[in-house]
Structure 1
Amino acid sequence: MSTSPEQFWSIGEIAEHADTTVKTVRFYSDRGLLPESARSSGGHRRYGPQALERLRLIRSLRALGLPLTEVRRVVEDTDAAGHVLQDAVASRLRELGTELKAMRWRQAALRLVQECPPAQRPDRLRLLGALNTPPSTAPLARFWRAWLPPRMPARATTAFLEAAVPQPPDEPHPTQVLAFARLHAMTTAPCPGGRQPRPEVHQVAGARGTAVLYTGLAEAYQLAGPQLRRAQDPHPGEALDAYVAAYASAYRSRDSRQFRRSLAARLATEPRLDRYWELTAAVLTPPAGPPEPTPGSTDDWLRTALDQDNAETA
């Protein structure tokens, strides 16, 4: 075909050159995405080579799933660097990532219903029906925000939530879907008598002391995490020292043998959220993988190490 600037095609001809339909060309023309180059003596649309190139670009962008609003921005972009196209593609990739994650969660949820005994299906359907896909962690975050002291610094609150709220896996196994659904139900259910109170051992430190405490506990958990992954038995060491130091700093006290014994006694009587941490571990751990440490399981390990340390020095 000729690429002379004087060459013009009818709507049918440009559709044939672009390997598309007249309906498609008219659709983009009516929306201003494909301007006509001229009109025939009879008032019919005529298109030149630039229109053909734009039509091919439009079809390529649409084949990638870009919406018409983004297509318009790209074809009207005069920046040679193509920043608009780059941004549009990046945005579409993010959208596809969310869509793929949602599809994987739906697939795992369907398998969960398919593979369970018939008597369990109503309960599982009820749990799954309360979840978005992909699921949101907002209800879990609200649960912990109500549990934390109201005047705790924002940075400390954010760090705590990052450790306490498990992120849904991108490619979940049905058991992980079930665990997350149960976590969602646990954290959104009305609590008789109100929310479970924070442990007294945390409350006595006050808002400032609690922030200091949680910062120190996060450090201790990081030190103990590799040992839990290697399935090492609890034992005194650097992680335990950081654990005790967190409480000592929050109470404006110092680490001593007497302090360690009194701390162990107080921790032994505090309320616990064992079920939450069990479900969190199930969300984070694939069925064939080793258990992933959680703040709950790591705290248990450190408490046992503290009891062992106290027993050895009694």
Structure 2
Amino acid sequence: MKGSISEFELGVLRTRMLDAARSKARRGELRLSVPFGYVWHREAGLGLDPDLRLQEVIRLIFRRFGELGSARQVLLSMKADQIHFPRPSDEGRMTGFVWLPIRYRNVISVLKNPFYAGVYVYGKSEKRTAIVDGRARRSYGHGKPVGTWEVFIKEHHEGYVSWDEYERNQKQLALNAYGRVDGVKSGRGGRALLAGIMTCRRCGRRLTVTYTGNPQSRPVYRCDKPNLMMGLPRCMTFGGPRVDAAVARELLRSVEPLAIEAAFEAERMHRERQDDQRQILDLELQQARYEANLAERRYAACDPDNRLIAAQLEKNWEIALRRVRDLEAIVSHRVV
């Protein structure tokens, strides 16, 4: 009897705690775990991380996506520029970080997180219960549509982008998802000009591209789905070179009056990219110099007779100095 009462009391306490957390979240005061680029301040609440290098990297991701329109292309361009992204070094406690080469999940997590648009959200996922082998099985982390989030507060804190830009980014990411109906698909390599763009007028399915010849360099457009899935005859098959050439001629004829403006715009974008890269390198060099000075102070404060500690501190100092020299060489090379 006492055990049943205690279990009931625990359930009541748990329910009250969850209700209190939801009530606090509705006011935007529940201190959730926030993404990189934000910190909870004791007095001011949620604000930007004071690390300028981190701020610039996050803003650069959004700028590159606005220019390139693809998360993977953003990754490749930032990889080419040797840009790093922080990663927790303390098993998820988010108190210490190391800067490592950026990965795809870093880019996509920044682009998809509404916190970067200045929106406070709570209850984005839900748990589901299903009967498996006669037993109830719960699974967690199932995402919910935007309109069904429990708490949604716009302009709650300073954002890296506006909400309108965030929505445009989500639409572009949805269009880039290969294999889904509707929307223009990105090309998957090859020489075909219209890969992922044309659809079959008879069945409405997207045309696929195959390559023939020796070497296989001649594109052929075909509607294969009815044949592959239902054994029906192909809707159409036609060679690609003549179609691609005709479309290319019309495209060049249409953009010819804007060629000079396009060249100036390309030059401007190239300069902006170089400026962004230079600013990231300057901030990274400043941080490396600070870490080298910190390592030097730690080594100077150590008892020289305690060789077990002094040797490791000296090694850390040498590594920090080597990092500074490498970055200075990269910066000087880029300036030249």
Q: Give the helix-richer structure, 1 or 2.
A: 1
Quick one: higher RCO (CA 8 Å, sep 6+), 1 or 2?
1
Structure number with larger C-alpha Rg: 1
Pick the TM interval, shorter chain: under 0.3
Q: Give the strand-richer structure, 1 or 2.
A: 2
> Which TM-score applies when normalising by structure 1?
0.24
> Which TM-score applies when normalising by structure 2?
0.23
